[in-house]
Amino acid sequence: MWKNLSALSLRQLFIDYPYAIDFFSSLPTVIQDTDKTVQEYFETINDELLQDLGLGYQELKTQFNFFMVQMEKLKEQEKIIRAVTICGGIDKNGNQENFDITICAGEIICIVGPTGSGKSRLLADIEWIAQRDTPTRRQILVNGQVPDMTTRFAVEHKLVAQLSQNMNFIMDLTVREFVEMHAESRMVEHDQEIVENIISKANELTGEPFQPDTPVTSLSGGQSRALMIADTAYLSSSPIILIDEIENAGIDRKQALQLLVDKEKIVLMATHDPILALMGDKRIVIKNGGISRVIETTPAERKNLVRLEQIDRQMAVIRELLRKGECINEIPSEIDS
């Protein structure tokens, strides 16, 4: 890539590759002439500056080239992932799964089945982009193709982000500092606006709002989950989101899923919650470690979802009464939506 970039003027480089500004701004020198080519700029770097950086001339060029290559890979990844296909493998007894399931961006697929049936195993196969090399012998295709090894085992720009049941922070940062750090690492434009949006959206999702200066280690489980869902929606480059039992998170489940769908994420969710199951476009039924059935949510189920949501709102009122230490002498009637 260096060969193509070295002949560009700095002005043209910053127009064609805006994120290159971040690399140069990290150097302890001021660019005074943007008409110079990239090659000419590097040739002006003196030994004293290189010594301050602890790098040689060639090492600095190599770092710049690596930075640009990684950023281009990230851009390409974000553009191309539009569908994931699960090609059937085997169940715990070695019986074949006779299903190939394609999931497109913006779809919600729920994974249901008894505890221990293999829901988390399916999520793991997708997270690892399995290629017949896991106990289930499933294969995962991206846009109908086998992903290359670089894409599959990428450390920094993973195809899959997983939100597990337990979200524990160990960093000594405030909420704002945590989100700012992620935004800076993603080199996004208008980062402060996005930081504000993430914190605001997280507070919409959680039952108990928190402040930007709240330490992340002080967040409850529900608050942590809300923050990570909002952060994932706005900042994660991973196009595939796996969620394990969001019903236990104490957040607005419907709004959380809608946020991810609006951001064109491919969402797969293991759940025991009938409301979440019926919110999905399809649900994969797992039995004995294998996919036994794929069900498209029917119009009749959508109608039942409305009733289930009414019941859920009633339960929410009862839970709030308990939290306030009040007696439940009457069961609340239907709650307005």
Domain range annotation of the chain: 2-79, 81-297, 302-337
Where do the H-state alpha helices sit in 18-153?
A: 20-25, 38-43, 47-53, 57-80, 119-127, 149-152
CATH superfamily to which 81-297 belongs: P-loop containing nucleotide triphosphate hydrolases (3.40.50.300)
CA 336, 250, 125: angle at the middle one, nearest 5?
120
Contact 92, 118 (CB under 8 A): yes
Residue 152 — φ and ψ, nearest 5°?
-65, -40
CA 281/CA 205 separation, integer angstroms: 22
Tens digit of pLDDT at every position of the chain (337 positions): 777 888 888 888 888 888 788 888 777 777 778 888 888 888 888 888 777 777 787 888 888 888 888 777 666 655 567 889 999 999 999 999 988 999 988 888 999 999 899 998 998 899 889 999 999 999 999 888 888 776 677 655 577 887 765 556 667 889 999 998 888 777 666 678 899 999 999 999 887 889 999 998 888 888 888 898 898 888 877 788 888 766 555 677 788 888 888 888 888 888 888 988 998 999 999 999 999 999 999 999 999 999 998 888 888 888 888 888 998 888 776 554 4
CA 114/CA 122 separation, integer angstroms: 13
CA 22/CA 19 separation, integer angstroms: 6
Per-residue pLDDT, 337: 44
Contact 84, 144 (CB under 8 A): no
Contacts of residue 180, defined as CB under 8 A and 6 or more positions apart, other chains included, come to: 191, 195
Length of the chain as a residue count: 337
